[in-house]
Structure 1
């Protein structure tokens, strides 16, 4: 079906069909998601905040009830403190009602909110009458209001707010159910469309894949034979697409590789035999094959010189005759080899100079540690630190003696080996001097 159609055209047909199906699925999915998102946005930004505000009003009313009770219980200044709390709660309720008035858009919601407003009027009137009785000292009448008319108006007020909350909660449930139904519908539709798209994509993909893999498998078998060293089989595949062109190129490559293999074998055998002057005839090859053979020839030319220099320098370093740095120019890894040899020469000279300085008592010498495995440099650093610590403790003991602090001793535990013995000897010497001195001071004292 696709034998003589270009592979690019086949793939374009397949991907275009899959892309079209994908666009349909995504478009429907995005549309349904936007609808669900609208319902969720309404829940989060409109329905739920209105319920929260209504509950805040109920909370404020409950706080007012406690305040009104406390006003009856407390007297004088404590009572006045409770009275002063009422305006704040009233402002909270007023602000909540004003917010709801702006947010509620449905007729049912507006009716419920109006009932809240209507129930608030007698409640506020009863609160004012209750406060007047308290302030005038008519506490018995005020107590009757707490369980009578004031309580009734408050219950009616709260019932109106609860009715508003119930209405808003019903809207939330209704909108949530609508979103749930829409999500289920979208899920089913997307599953069906995805299934159809998957089947069509699989069939189209199988047809296109088979039209490519079958001839490619034949070429792969020929390539495997070549990889195994068998270049005698001829590629017979013939068709008008890229695979056919590749088959012709593979046939041409067979001949070129056979010629290159022969020259490579020649150079390899010569190198194994130590005949490093042997070279292949690059003119027998074309294009990059010629470059490969010429490159091998150039590689052999480039290897001989640097290897001879490196061997000579390594031989000199091995017998302790440190040569001067290499000044010739090399490329690539040979330049790295040269730099490493020069670095070795420089480091060896630096360490030798450092050792000579230490032997002359110069502990200020700088020692470069090239890596964690540079044992020689680390050892020299340890020597400098150990001798430095020894000198510091000796100077400390000397200074203490000059200042008459004969009880001062150095900490021998900080030193190792013979350095510790030296410090211990200095401490012992001071002990042998201090004892007679202390005895003389005791007699004179």
Structure 2
């Protein structure tokens, strides 16, 4: 075996060990050996390096099963550093800060008064810079390890913003601006991709997962064999521009009758405002779902939502589909009504459910992508940590 082969094996073993430590939260060297099949000498060398790099720490916890020393447990050194996830939408930016164990410790919403790219970047950094300065002092010795950015539009495989329908941004580089300022790795992706990644990391550690975002447009994030599926140049998942009415409403994309013009929550809000002008959209939805009020508006909306969903299920045969929208999240009846409209005998899936992460998903996914790349792992699994089992996102 030559030097290159030895180096590759070492990196492979390191990745395996980090993934195992993250997944199990805390475990001993003996546990690592049993779980991975690596010998104790290899584990000892690798673990010592990770400890020296401040990535892993040792803890003595609990009572030993027999007389003698308590077991020494290994876990990720959460307080040594952190990542930042950023969700850039039309009217606001969400910043999410997660420690090295993936736990959200700070988030902030930044309202936007402009869609001008340079002004948005300036406003972003006006909030980001003091926060990074503060948290670099608290999370030592590593500090900031990277930044993940979600954009509501098409992003190429080279991190370039190709087009955003809301802001009309084209051929722009968030990555360059943030890299030059903070000198840390920056990863830019479509918001739906980051949403599905966050769902996989925190809730659904399965190899194939779909997440459909429904807020102002419709996006599809696809996890295929534990990786985000981006397509040929990174444009995959623009499912909102699937045509459901060939001679329908004109869309800014150039087509007519795109799915998101009928089945996004923006479209539903418009119809609800016309039908129930005295109520807010949330109040009207709540009344319809809780009081059983017959609503042509909701039925019309669910008809179109089910058409697109039926197409996705029949084309891809996903195991689980997560729907992420302000109306759907928290409303089981919404999902039940939708599933009743999926009548095709070809529909085959395990579960459709609402998101538990909601509008925090994109920023959390950005922070998680930065962590994954920092650790150099193939998979990031925080499911066993149970971070968001209730309303814990209000930080």
TM-score range for the pair, normalised by the shorter chain length: under 0.3
Larger strand proportion of the pair: 2
Larger helix proportion of the pair: 1
Length-normalised TM-score, structure 1: 0.14
